[in-house]
Amino acid sequence: MPHSSSSLEALKHQALGPDPEAAYEAFEVLTAIGTEEVAQFYLGLLETAERGWRNRAAMGLAYLGDERAVAPLLQAIQRPETRGYNGTMVYALTQFACRHLLKELFQMVFQQGYEAQLMALMALMAIEDQDFEYSIEDVAFIEQQWAVAQLAPSTSLLELGLENIGELVEEL
């Protein structure tokens, strides 16, 4: 059923409103509608400081399956101000084909907060399924980052298991 521009605007306004239940429902309806306008709205929300909106937009984009979301999701994840609050965005990113993001996923494991590290590590553990594409330079970068991470591993890296990460690096 086609939705008018005014009904989409009303849903967007509700999604960004103060009532959390109404906002959640609006995001659900917008995702179900799934038009180009909705996708663009979600892409724009990845830039916001409001993490609830970012997370709902990221999950909506993952549900829509639009590959154009990969680069904006990656940019949002890598912004310093989202560190520690980007696990949901990493999860959404991993719902897309990540074959060309091996270096970026390892960077997330080495440099992000626990949730993002865990999501990236889970994607990396599916190396056989992903059939990653990477260069010799990517491997050298990953190995260098791994060497640095082992010098003073964060608590979260220790919790994730250095041996697991080391095995993944060795498989490259």
Name 104's Cβ contacts closer than 8 Å, sequence gap at least 6: 74, 78
pLDDT in tens, 45-81: 999 999 999 999 999 999 999 899 999 999 999 999 9
Give me the sign of the Cα torsion angle 54, 123, 134, 170.
Answer: positive
pLDDT in tens, 130-163: 788 999 999 999 999 999 999 999 999 999 999 9
Confidence at residue 32, expressed as pLDDT on a 0 to 100 scale:
96
For the question of whether the overall pTM of this predicted structure is more than 0.85, the answer is: yes
Mean pLDDT confidence for 32-46: 96
pLDDT in tens, 15-30: 999 999 999 999 999 9
Instruction: Show the tokens assigned to 102.
Output: 């091996």
